[in-house]
Structure 1
């Protein structure tokens, strides 16, 4: 039984990914800080302690694992972007994997493969309707810089000869967290409305498809480098809200929430909801045999919302 070591395993993606890995017969282990929030971890999951601020990591976590998945990272939209918060967002993604890279260099251990989370904001927070494949250059705003540094940290493991994949993840649809949860309340109340112009594109993906991509990238030796982890068909913010209301049999409230209302509420972080990207799953489509369970929005929402 081979073991997969996860950073950020208790988050939205990590929790579902753990379930699927266990179903496939893998042993799963987490790097944890021993916080109270981690007390509910599945008893089948092994825990190893680490403390990035003290440069501490239980080396048995590395020695006893054949695969690594890096999901750790402070939530982009969890709090206003003060200078301190913006640095925390970067450090939580880069210093964590940097510590693992240093320990690997010291011990000489090598994983069979490594998959790192990444984000489609690599291309910039708001790229309008321009179609973006993996060949496009990074953007120049704050969120793009976060991802550039994130991927550079992941590449430290690739430099050690470990097959490395990076999944530039779109908007993950799940009622337990993320963008869908944030606007589900007004939709359920019958006042769901587009944000800003409503025309900004949302490149989305169902949680299960994303987790299956992680497993495919882990197992398949042909996967290497960066992939846009999105469903085949981006939609506008307006389409997403309207389809959600349709699936829930709720009225669709046509008036849009204007920019001038959102910007004072979110500050610089308003770009997260007002910006958009039309991202193509080009490498997934052309270079892999990956089959989506939910390539279309409405069936994906039916699957997700039927469980809420």
Structure 2
């Protein structure tokens, strides 16, 4: 008898890849969505976070929940309204799930919550960071701290809870990589700012396989840094993209103040960096990466 995995944010980039992987592995997949548009091969249930509504059947039929929902961090400039949405879309949705789990009969065995390496602060230079490192104090760090606190409400119900603090996800379906690769293709690529800021990356296939293992391996519990073993600097990433695409890099670095003028406060997400280590994944799990080498990951995605 196949198990059912309920995914929130399932129509996003990670959710689509994850749905495909789970179905290949024999899981039934259902989605929680604001809209009732049908999605091929999956059951779609509705929820309205602002109104506090969730279809109870979504909870009652689930064996596992993967919670990915949240407004995109880098989709828009950080106005006060946007910052509020980035925060509340994560905390309110998680609180709603915790409330639904508390008041509905269910058979949910695990809750795998998305989180982010922004927990440590947007710019921590080359200081190695593990799951036990202290959190930062800037906007993103505050968001992630509140986000993880809301996930603790699920853990308090006795449900095994995993939090994957995700790094920069490499995929051509969204996120940073298409934005970095396009100028390089056009011969206009260049490192950003000093170029020495670290990017703690992970290939989307490895991330989705991590979610799968977090469901199937009951020893997984608590916080894990969902990053590949070898962080890269912005400059080395840009050079690796150029090498894989066989394009030259002839322009000087793009000054940080230009990025600040373009993006406002959001610029810190581009000019800052983190050297995040996957210590718990490496030391405590049997997870085997397919992509630990940045060039191999880029070849897979760009060629």
Q: TM-score, normalised by structure 1?
A: 0.96
SS of 2:66's equivalent in the other structure is: strand
Q: Is the 8 A contact 1:104 1:110 kept in 2?
A: no
Instruction: Kindly indicate whether residue 58 of structure 2 is the aligned counterpart of residue 61 of structure 1.
Output: yes
For 1:122, the equivalent position in structure 2 comes to 119
Given that 2:190 and 2:252 are in contact with CA atoms closer than 8 Å, whether structure 1 keeps it comes out as yes
Structure 1 match to 2:141: 144
1:144-163 pair list within 5 angstroms: 144-163=141-160
Q: Deviation at 1:254?
A: 4.5
Structure 1: stretches of 5+ with no match in the other structure: none
Runs of 4+ in 1 over 4 A off after TM superposition: none
Instruction: Say whether the 8 Å CA contact 2:62–2:107 is kept in structure 1.
Output: no
1:228 corresponds in structure 2 to 225
- Corresponding position of 1:24: 25
SS of the aligned residue for 1:91 comes to helix
Q: Deviations over 1:107-144 (max 9, x none)?
A: 24241111001000100000000000001111000000
Cα deviation digits, residues 9-40 of structure 1 (max 9, x gap): 001100000000000000000001117xx55x
CA distance in 1, matches of 2:21, 2:105: 30
Query: What root-mean-square deviation, in Å, do the aligned CA atoms of Structure 1 and Structure 2 show?
Result: 1.0
Q: How does 1:157-306 map to 2 (within 5 A)?
A: 157-306=154-303
Checking the alignment, whether the CA contact within 8 Å between 2:5 and 2:62 is kept in structure 1 is yes
Q: Which runs of 5+ in 2 are unaligned?
A: none
Contact 2:122–2:138 (8 Å) recurs in 1: yes
Distance in 2 separating the partners of 1:219 and 1:161: 17
For the residue of structure 2 that corresponds to 1:88, the secondary structure is helix
Q: Distance in 1 between matches of 2:215 and 2:196?
A: 36
Does the CA contact (< 8 Å) of 1:110 and 1:162 recur in 2?
no
CA contact (8 A) 2:3 2:27 kept: yes
| Counterpart position of 1:11 | 12
Per-residue CA distance 1:273-304 (angstroms, 9 max, x = gap): 00000000000000011000001100000011
TM-score by length of structure 2 reads 0.98
Structure 2 SS opposite 1:48: strand
Q: Distance in 2 between matches of 1:13 and 1:107?
A: 28
The 1:65/1:100 distance shift into structure 2, 3 A limit, reads same
CA deviations 1:132-164 (Å, max 9, x no partner) are: 000111100000001001111111110000000
In the alignment, the residues of structure 1 paired with residue 108 and residue 155 of structure 2 have an alpha-carbon distance, to the nearest angstrom, of: 10
Cα distance in 1 for partners of 2:254, 2:117 equals 24
